[in-house]
Structures are given as C-alpha cells and as structure tokens.
Structure 1
Amino acid sequence: MKDEELKKQMPIGGDVPALQLQYDHCKALRRELKEKEYSVLNAIDQARVFLADQPIEAPEEPRRNLQSKTELTPEEKAQKIAKAMRKQSSEVKEKWESLNAITSNWQKQVDKALEKLRDLQGAMDDLDADLKEAEAVRNGWKPVGDLLIDSLQDHIEKTMAFREEIAPINLKVKTMNDLSSQLSPLDLHPSLKMSRQLDDLNMRWKLLQVSVDDRLKQLQEAHRDFGPSSQHFLSTSVQLPWQRSISHNKVPYYINHQTQTTCWDHPKMTELFQSLADLNNVRFSAYRTAIKIRRLQKALCLDLLELNTTNEVFEQHKLNQNDQLLSVPDVINCLTTTYDGLEQMHKNLVNVPLCVDMCLNWLLNVYDTGRTGKIRVQSLKIGLIALSKGLLEEKYRYLFKEVAGPTEMCDQRQLGLLLHDAIQIPRQLGEVAAFGGSNIEPSVRSCFQQNNNKPEISVKEFIDWMRLEPQSMVWLPVLHRVAAAETAKHQAKCNICKECPIVGFRYRSLKHFNYDVCQSCFFSGRTAKGHKLHYPMVEYCIPTTSGEDVRDFTKVLKNKFRSKKYFAKHPRLGYLPVQTVLEGDNLET
C-alpha cells in the first residue's frame, strides 16, 4: 500500500510548490514508518524466534497411496503453518527494507531537487525584481524626438550610466540559466509554468538590452545631427537665399541659392569686412587697425565678454594643453558655452547661433586660413582674450599667463608664440605691415633687451615692456583707448569741422593755443590755421582735468619758442619702434 502510494508521488515535481508537497508527503511517510518500525521489527523478530524452534521442512516423499488424505496430521499442520510464517516473515522483512530504502532514496531526491529549485526560484525572483526596476526606468523615457536639443548630451550620459548600472543583471541571468541547466542530470524537468517564466526572464533581459542600445543609438544620432557638434543649431544664423553647409572636416561654408555660389565667409561677415573698407581713409595705421578691430569686436559681441569669464570657459572645457589642436566642433562647444553665458546677461544683444557662427568664422579666418578644421588651443585663447572686455594691464596678465611656464616665467620662444598669435589679428585685416610685419623676432629681442637679455622674464617685466606700446602690439592699447573714447564728450569745439562738443577722441595742439581737433578730422589728416601734421598734439579719450589743462598750456608755451627744424628732428612716435630685419631663427613656428 505504502509503496504504491509512494510511486504515485513520482516523478519529481517541476516547480517549488509541487516539490514542497512531495517533500511534505515524504516527511509524513518517513515519520509514519518510524512510528511503525518497532512493531514491524518486533513481529519479524518474534517470527524468527518461533521459527527457530521449528524443524526445517524435509522434502516430500512420493506418495505410495494415491488416495488423498482427508485430514492432515498435527505434525503436518505445524509444518504447513511454519512454512507459511517463514514465507510471510521473509516477505515482510524484504518489503519493509525495500520500502525504507525507496523512501530514503526518494527523500534524498526530493531534498536535492527542492534545494536546486529553491535556488533557481530565488534567482528568478531576484532577477525579476531587478528587471522590473530597470523596466520602470526605461518606460519613463521620453521619445528622443520630444527631447530638447540642449539636453541630448545629458540624456546620452544618463543612458550610458544606466547601461552600466544594469550590466550586473547579465551575471544574474547567467546564474539563473546555469542553475536551470543543473536540473537535467537530476532528471528534473521544470514545470510548464516555470519554463515559461525562465523564457520570459531571458526575453525581458534581451529586450531591455536592445531598448537601451537602440535609445543610445538614437540619442547619439540625434546629437550628431542636431547637437552642438552637428552645428545644426547654427543653421539659423543665415537667412534665405543663404544656406549653411558643412565640409567633410566640419568646417562651415555658405551657399547662395540665388547666385548659385559658395563661400567660406558668413554673409554677415562679408558685410562686416565690406564696411571695414570705409575705414581705410584713416591715415594712422594703429588707429585704423584699432577701429576696425573695435567694429569687429562689437559685431562678435566680444565687447561684452569679461576676462574672468573667458578663463572660466577655458577651464570648463579643460583647455590646458596649448599645443593641442581643436576641431571645429570643439571650438563650437567652447563658443556656445561662452555665448550662452553672455545671452543670460544681455538677452537683447546676443543672438547665440549668429554670434557663435560669426566668431567661428573670424577664428578660422585668423588662425586656419587653409580651412583644415583645426585651431591650436593657444590661438583660440589669445584671440578671445585680445578682443574681450577688461582692464588693459589685466589683459596683459591673462595673455602672459597663457604662455608662461610652471614657474610663471616666460622665455623667448613662449613670448614669440604669444606675439605670433596676436599679430595674426591685424594681419587678417591686411594691416600687419604697419606693425613690423609677420616676423616677431625683432619684438621678442626688443623685450629681452629691455630686461638685460635675461633668459626669462616675469609678468611684471612683460607688462613694463607692453606699457611702452611696442610696435607689434600697439594696436591693442589703441583698441582700449578707442573703446574708452566712444562715449566721451569734451567741452571743446573742433577747429576744423566746428563740431561741439567733441565726441570720441579729442586732439589738442601743443603748438597753438585753443586748437582742438575731433577724431574724424584728425584721422583724415585735415588741418586748419596753418597747423602742420608734424606738430605735437596730445590725445584725450576722456574729458580733461584742470591739471591737464595747465600742463598742456605750459607745453604750448615751450613749443612756441621751438623752430620747425626742432619738430622735424624730434618726431613723436606713439609706440616703441623695433628694427624689422630678417635674421636668426624664425620664432613664428
């Protein structure tokens, strides 16, 4: 009965609930066998004792009398009973031992199978919880098409971080599948429900991986096509019939669909350069160059850019290696950060796409005339610092800092690199000849001769030299004076055009009393009252003080008694001249 009952429990269940029932039944059966063990063994033992006193049955002799006996003798009855008892005792013992052996073996199988299935079920439950958590995050994702372009990079980083976070799930999937594969040697086959759950978990993990990879791909493609590196947001910097396009090395160019022509320069940059041609009538090159740069500076909105802001942007983009080459997308990223900050402070003045595109155009014109798509970090820094807003000597400090070594000292090569990058700004405007040409070696030599030819100079020594307004850099301090004079009003009348008050620069003669000239007349070289161009004059970019008026009056008195030969022999230069002979190593490279 019990062995039949036990056989009905077989085979091993395919899931934990079924196995638990088998386990409980087996435990109950073992408990019942334990309870009956004494009585069964005692009965077998008593039968053994009884049978020990009984003679062993002899072989039956052939019956001579073929007539069947109607009655057995007492001896024959005893032998028959003993024979039956011996047979039953042997069968009981054999079945009892077999039942115990089968039950014990079944118990071991159930125990091992239950342990394995519990491990597998635990792994499945753990995996299911992790997948639900990850799927909840995935289900919360907005479609890529609904995301703001500015947030694409942030979403890419978050998706990559999410992919790293869910990576350990793969190990849990492997563990679950390994546990599942260990069931076959035990002749244990998961139930249909458990098999479906296994397949479902594996499929969910694959789908999660695919969805993460697909989203990352979509985000990266969107970022490539519409993000800052794609330059897509810069397409709004031009209007029809113009279209902005990108060459293979990410350098922008512009298509005019009306004339079917292309050019490297932004249409607004072309207009700006055409307007700069109107300034060619300014007779003095330093002023002509400075006024051109000032107009360029304002067109690029760099007159709004504080010096410390440029430094923060450089640090934010980790522009620490001056020799590093930046790609056009790198430059755009840096400029976008710069102009985004300016837009927050000057919303009505800064059009970010236009400013970024124009500034990029200018930087390429200055530092990448061949349109290779690469600009050195140092060139970018010097270009932006030179045209940014700030005190002149503070700007000198920033420029020096960009080329100085770890000891905050600068050697001839480093100064040469600084001057080379700086002189490219007037060179691009066609004004380099007036500043000693492109060879910066004489300027470098001038600076170090000023400092007793020491191998290195400090920032103070550099600033002292710059205060002398060396010929190659004179356009920079003049640029600052041009900016300062823009809104200056002087209570004086121009002796030539009669403008009153004089707005901008005021030029006072140190030869004639009460002789003032406005900047327009001065720059065009106009004179009156017999005043000659070589006569000494003093420039004011802000209204004069009473002390300055007295000082100038004294100088006029002195100059009244000086001859024309004196002024011809002692011309006044507004800068420190340097000899521009070609000699020695070329420090430009």
Structure 2
Amino acid sequence: ELTPEERAQKIAKAMRKQSSEVKEKWESLNAVTSNWQKQVDKALEKLRDLQGAMDDLDVDMKEAEVVRNGWKPVGDLLIDSLQDHIEKTMAFREEIAPINLKVKTVNDLSSQLSPLDLHPSLKMSRQLDDLNMRWKLLQVSVDDRLKQLQEAHRDFGPSSQHFLSTSVQLPWQRSISHNKVPYYINHQTQTTCWDHPKMTELFQSLADLNNVRFSAYRTAIKIRRLQKALCLDLLELNTTNEVFKQHKLNQNDQLLSVPDVINCLTTTYDGLEQMHKDLVNVPLCVDMCLNWLLNVYDTGRTGKIRVQSLKIGLMSLSKGLLEEKYRYLFKEVAGPTEMCDQRQLGLLLHDAIQIPRQLGEVAAFGGSNIEPSVRSCFQQNNNKPEISVKEFIDWMRLEPQSMVWLPVLHRVAAAETAKHQAKCNICKECPIVGFRYRSLKHFNYDVCQSCFFSGRTAKGHKLHYPMVEYCIPTTSGEDVRDFTKVLKNKFRSKKYFAKHPRLGYLPVQTVLEGDNLETPSQSPQLFHDDTHSRIEQYATRLAQMERTNGSFLTDSSSTTGSVEDEHALIQQYCQTLGGESPVSQPQSPAQILKSVEREERGELERIISDLEEEQRNLQVEYEQLKEQHLRRGLPVGSPPDSVVSPHHTSEDSELIAEAKLLRQHKGRLEARMQILEDHNKQLESQLHRLRQLLEQ
C-alpha cells in the first residue's frame, strides 16, 4: 500500500499527464478554431461578394428592363421611323452586352461556394435564379424586337414594295415573286400576269399607232406616249444624273435587284412629286416604270438589271436638250480618259436599241445586231481605236439608222404644241397643229402630220415628192428658202429624183453580217425567244428578202407601196404570234396552251398549206415552161440576148422574163414558208415545255 507521499506523487504525475493532454487538446482546438474562423471569414467574403455582385446586376437589369418596357409595339410605329428604331435597338443591344459578363461573374461566384461546402440561403438562391431568368428574357425580347423591326422594315419600309400595293385597284392585287419581281393577280378572272394593268392598257392603246406608215415616227410617237405615261417627260436630265450619283451607281456592270431599282425610282419620283404634285402619283409611277424597265432589260424576269441599262433607259426618256443627252449617254460608257472604244459604244447601242425592240419595231432600225452601227461610227472617224464625245455627237447628228428614233422623239415632243398658220391641203385642218410638211415640188402645198403619217395625198402630189418637215412655226427666211427650192424642183425631171434619193437617216449595212460585237453577258435572257424577238426575226428576214429582190427602198421620207407590203407582212406575222401587242398574250400555262393549239397552230398550218399548194402550182407551171424551152432548144437560164432564131426571139424573151418572175416569186414563197416552218417548230417546242409544266 502506497504511502501518502507516493500517492501524492502518483496523483501529481497523473495531473501532469492530464494537463499535458489538455494542453495538446487546447492547442489542437485553437488550431481547429483558427482554421474554422478562416473558413468562415472566407465564406463570408464569398457570400458578400456574391451578394454585392447580385445587387449590382439587379440594378443594371432594372435599368435595362425600364428601357425595354418603354418600347411601343412594332405595329404602332410609323413606317418612316422603323429604320431609326432598328438602329436604337441595335445600340441598346450593344449597351447591355456588359451585363452578360456580370451574369457570368455572379454564376462563377456561386459555383465557388460548393468546394467550401457552403449552400446559399433560399432567398439568395431564388434571387440568383431570378437574375438568370430575367437576363435570358431580356436577351430574347431584344432579339425578337430587332427581328420584328427588320421584318416590318423589309415588308413595309421605304425599301420595300408595300407602298406600291396602292398602284392597283380591285379586282387587281399586286404580289411579289421569290426574286422580288412583282406580278399582278386579277381576282375577278383568276389570272396572273407580269404587266401592270395600266401598262396593259397603255400597250393596247399603242396598237392605234400602227397606222403610222413611217417606222421612225411610229416608234417615236409610241415612245412619247410611254414617256408621258411614266411621267419621264417631267424628269430633267441632270436630275436623273444626280439620282444616280446619290445611289452610288458607278459600276456599270453591277447587277441591281428589284428593291435597288425601286429605291432609285422612288427617289426620282419623290423629287418629281414635289414639283408636280397634281401630275405624279409616286406608287403608280414607280411601279409602271419598274414594269417597263423589266420588260425592256429583264424579259426573263430574273429580278436583275444592269446599272448601265437602267441609266441608258431612264436617260433616253428624260427631258433635256438632244445633244446634251448624247453627251450624258457617251459619258456613261466612256472610260477614264473620256474616250470610247468599239466595245463601249456597242454596249451603249445595245442597251439603247432595246427600247424600240420592246415595242416590236427594231427591224426598221437595222435589227438587234449593233455591229454595223459601231462600224459606221468608227469609219466616220477614220477607224480610230477610240472616239471622243465630239466625234460621237457629230455621228449622232447624222441620225444613224439604229438611233434615228431618239432625235425623232425629240422632234415629236417639240411639235406637240406647235401651231402653224397654214392649211392642210388634204383634210383642210387650219391651223396645222404638230408637224407641218411642206412640199418642195408644189407651191403652197402643206400636209398635217395625221395625213402625212397615214400616207394620204392630194390630187397631183406623190409620196415620193420631196417635202420638208417643221416642228416649230417657220420664219420668213425659211419660207423664202423653201420657195427657192420649189422653184428649182419645178424644172427637175422624175429621173433626177430617181437618181438623187433623199435619205432621212444614215443607213447601215445589215445583210450578211459576221458575229455580233460583245453584248452584256449579264443581261438576263429567256430560255426561249419571246414574242418581240420572233417578230424581230421575221421582220428582219423579210426585209433581207425584199432587199435581195430589189424592192427595198432606203428613202425614209418617200416610202411607197413596197414598204406598205413589208409592214403588212410584219403585221400578219405579229398577228399569228398571238395578238397585236404582247400584253394580249395569255398569261397562265393553261391559257397559253389553249391559245396556241386553237389559234396560232391552226392559223400557221392553214398558211403553210396554202403556200405549199401555191408552190406546187408554181412548180407545175415552171416545169411546163421548162419543157417549152427545151423543145425550142433554149437553155432555161439563158439571158434575153441569147442567140435564137429570129421568129422566136420576141416570144422567148417574154417567156424568159416570165420564168424569171416566177423564180423570184417562188423564192419569196419558199423564204416565207421557211419562216413559218421555223415558227411552227418553235411553237411545237413551246407546247412540249408547257405540257411538261402542266404535268408538274
């Protein structure tokens, strides 16, 4: 048993041990407590950072939401303000872009709590979720707003075609194809067509001018009526040029879409409306002019027009001095050196000739091949590689055949209101209004434009007699000059006028031409020839046939019956192509199919049958004549002065002459039959394509 002293030592030892353990535990507890304090401080700092970031984000979100809540519905906005709202919305989207970084920061701070085994309070978690949801909704609302504004601006804004819907009235409706090309729906007849109803009426009215005998005047009067319908007779030439500069139309080969063309035309007609409020209906004029430009330069309705084509088309029909117009047209195609080579001139003439071509009148101006005109211009200037604007104007003053319609158009415009103190010797109109034609063969013989264009004459006066045209009242000096010419012509014989024909234009050789000069490859074309192209082909081939047979006249101011025959033939072929004007053609595939099968096909077959019968009769008659010649020992193709027996000379000469006439007539019939057969093949091809289209 331990002594008290030993017991005390043992207790003291145990106490020292326990004290040491307590000390160790205390130190450990202090370390753990210190570490916990650090963790708590760190967590508290993280929570404070998160709360601060969320509060800051909440402030920014509230500011953005105030702006968003202040937006008016897109449907309540003015059309003219749509672009401004689009710009403001895009700027707002840029302004709220930094909020996205703050949202990301808040989410990063929240994710940093998980490693610390910390969980935000329910209130903080809800606030965080709310901020994320509000940010997503804000983004969606901004994107939706911008999309709605852009769609509204596209569909209803100034660059859209919505404002053009008022250009038509019921039962018509204006619609747009996938490439933005307009077309028109007639709900009454349930048909569609490319041409504006007013354009259809206009072209139907142009058929009334087909009785004008002289092609240059007929074409010019048609273009003048078109010019007035489009209000382009109010458009100054320099204004047109300013509009082109405003829209930065500097690259002539650039292709413009339909909305681009509408923008340019809208600017043009808005300016005209300010000066002529009672005359200009902007939606109607823009739609009509667009329709005309597409008819001339985009017959395939691809929805693309070259910049140069747009410029030349509008400038040609603008108001201004003729030589100033020549200058502007030359400037559009000239190079940086203000000189023009053959290719550039060819592009100018190609685009210009499309205007009469669209009216079906191109054959009278040398056809669509502009190479002869280009060659004529450069031959006039000693075949230099390039010509200047002065040389171009000098050539245009000669009124080349391919461009003669343009100066005649200016004369037609100048003569519209002119009053001449003279009486028409045919219809007795007094005073004569418009053109006045004074005879240089008879004294005091005047003709009004109506009688002159229709080919009417008074007793004792022939169409081939020389005449002078006046588009403004004459002066005393001109009266004296004309009196002198009449006096001279009184003593001249018919042979003199036959040897000295008066040309009304600078003719160009168009027969047996080589390849065409380069034409714009970007110019859209139909997959098959349109009506005007076929009319042009027939008219050109007929004109070439008449030249070959020696019955073509080059005197534009003294057209005789052979030209009447030519126009009658052209008109006949035009009628077989489906009507007097392109606007009367059926519009849907089913209508085209019925019309072709019922009218054109039957008419062509009848004509071909008649011509074949006539050819057979001629062939029989020719064979009989050939046998008679062979029996008499005379070669079929021998000339009249061949050596034959005297008692047969007169009779054989008559037979030879008759045989020649028959051969010529046969050649003409064969040429016409070939034309009709070609057209028949085209119709068969067209019918095949239309049947395929209907089957689809």
Alignment TM-score, normalising by the size of structure 1: 0.77
Query: How far does residue 206 in structure 1 lie from its aligned partner after superposition?
Result: 0.8
Deviations 1:545-585 (A, max 9, x none): 44444444444444444333323322222221111124232
Query: How far does residue 429 in structure 1 lie from its aligned partner after superposition?
Result: 0.8
Deviations 1:285-334 (A, max 9, x none): 11110110010111111222222333343344443333333333333333
Distance 1:512 1:185, change over 3 A: same
Q: Distance in 1 between matches of 2:48 and 2:100?
A: 20
Return 5+ residue gaps in structure 2 as ranges.
517-693
Q: Distance in 1 between matches of 2:354 and 2:478?
A: 37
Distance 1:536 1:139, change over 3 A: farther
Query: How far does residue 104 in structure 1 lie from its aligned partner after superposition?
Result: 6.1
Quick check: 1:439–1:588 contact (8 Å CA) kept in 2? no
Query: How far does residue 465 in structure 1 lie from its aligned partner after superposition?
Result: 1.6
Quick check: 1:234–1:354 contact (8 Å CA) kept in 2? yes
Q: Distance in 1 between matches of 2:507 and 2:52?
A: 86
Query: How far does residue 435 in structure 1 lie from its aligned partner after superposition?
Result: 0.5
Deviations 1:51-76 (A, max 9, x none): xxxxxxxxxxxxxxxxxxxx999999
Provide the residue aligned with 1:288 in structure 2. 218
Q: Distance in 2 between matches of 1:285 and 1:502?
A: 22
Q: Distance in 1 between matches of 2:63 and 2:392?
A: 62
Query: How far does residue 191 in structure 1 lie from its aligned partner after superposition?
Result: 4.2
Q: Distance in 2 between matches of 1:112 and 1:582?
A: 99
Quick check: 1:228–1:332 contact (8 Å CA) kept in 2? no
Deviations 1:45-96 (A, max 9, x none): xxxxxxxxxxxxxxxxxxxxxxxxxx99999999999999999999999899
Query: How far does residue 204 in structure 1 lie from its aligned partner after superposition?
Result: 1.9
Q: 2:394 aligns with which of 454, 464, 467?
A: 464
Indicate the larger mover: 345-354 or 151-160.
151-160
Query: How far does residue 124 in structure 1 lie from its aligned partner after superposition?
Result: 3.7
Q: Distance in 2 between matches of 1:510 and 1:192?
A: 110
Which has the larger Rg? 1
Q: Distance in 1 between matches of 2:82 and 2:9?
A: 101
Indicate the larger mover: 393-402 or 416-425.
393-402
Q: Distance in 2 between matches of 1:109 and 1:548?
A: 115
Distance 1:180 1:406, change over 3 A: farther
Query: How far does residue 475 in structure 1 lie from its aligned partner after superposition?
Result: 0.6
Return 5+ residue gaps in structure 1 as ranges.
1-70
Quick check: 1:419–1:440 contact (8 Å CA) kept in 2? yes
Deviations 1:522-566 (A, max 9, x none): 222233363433333332323334444444444444444433332
Indicate the larger mover: 523-532 or 88-97.
88-97
Q: Distance in 2 between matches of 1:435 and 1:402?
A: 23
Query: How far does residue 441 in structure 1 lie from its aligned partner after superposition?
Result: 0.6
Local SS of the residue matching 1:539: strand
Q: Distance in 2 between matches of 1:408 and 1:127?
A: 64
Q: Distance in 1 between matches of 2:451 and 2:343?
A: 42
Deviations 1:167-205 (A, max 9, x none): 343233223322332233344544444433332322222
Local SS of the residue matching 1:410: coil
Quick check: 1:496–1:528 contact (8 Å CA) kept in 2? yes
Indicate the larger mover: 502-511 or 272-281.
502-511
Query: How far does residue 446 in structure 1 lie from its aligned partner after superposition?
Result: 0.7
Distance 1:96 1:492, change over 3 A: farther
Q: Distance in 1 between matches of 2:110 and 2:54?
A: 10
Quick check: 1:131–1:205 contact (8 Å CA) kept in 2? yes
Indicate the larger mover: 90-99 or 549-558.
90-99
Query: How far does residue 468 in structure 1 lie from its aligned partner after superposition?
Result: 1.6
Q: Distance in 2 between matches of 1:221 and 1:484?
A: 48
Q: Distance in 2 between matches of 1:129 and 1:493?
A: 91
Quick check: 1:513–1:556 contact (8 Å CA) kept in 2? yes
Distance 1:363 1:180, change over 3 A: same
Query: How far does residue 467 in structure 1 lie from its aligned partner after superposition?
Result: 1.8
Query: How far does residue 274 in structure 1 lie from its aligned partner after superposition?
Result: 1.2
Q: Distance in 1 between matches of 2:211 and 2:440?
A: 25
Q: Distance in 1 between matches of 2:341 and 2:64?
A: 58
Query: How far does residue 431 in structure 1 lie from its aligned partner after superposition?
Result: 0.8
RMSD over aligned Cα, in angstroms? 4.5
Local SS of the residue matching 2:695: coil
Q: Distance in 1 between matches of 2:498 and 2:95?
A: 81
Provide the residue aligned with 1:588 in structure 2. 695
Q: Distance in 2 between matches of 1:588 and 1:338?
A: 44
Q: Distance in 2 between matches of 1:391 and 1:192?
A: 84
Query: How far does residue 128 in structure 1 lie from its aligned partner after superposition?
Result: 3.7
Local SS of the residue matching 1:145: helix
Distance 1:389 1:137, change over 3 A: farther
Quick check: 1:440–1:588 contact (8 Å CA) kept in 2? no
Indicate the larger mover: 81-90 or 197-206.
81-90
Query: How far does residue 209 in structure 1 lie from its aligned partner after superposition?
Result: 1.2
Indicate the larger mover: 91-100 or 311-320.
91-100
Q: Distance in 2 between matches of 1:464 and 1:151?
A: 51
Query: How far does residue 418 in structure 1 lie from its aligned partner after superposition?
Result: 1.5
Q: How does 1:189-268 map to 2 (within 5 A)?
A: 189-227=119-157, 231-268=161-198
Q: Distance in 2 between matches of 1:189 and 1:487?
A: 94
Indicate the larger mover: 365-374 or 442-451.
365-374
Indicate the larger mover: 467-476 or 158-167.
158-167
Deviations 1:226-262 (A, max 9, x none): 4567634333322223333334444333333333333
Q: Distance in 1 between matches of 2:51 and 2:436?
A: 91
Quick check: 1:291–1:479 contact (8 Å CA) kept in 2? yes
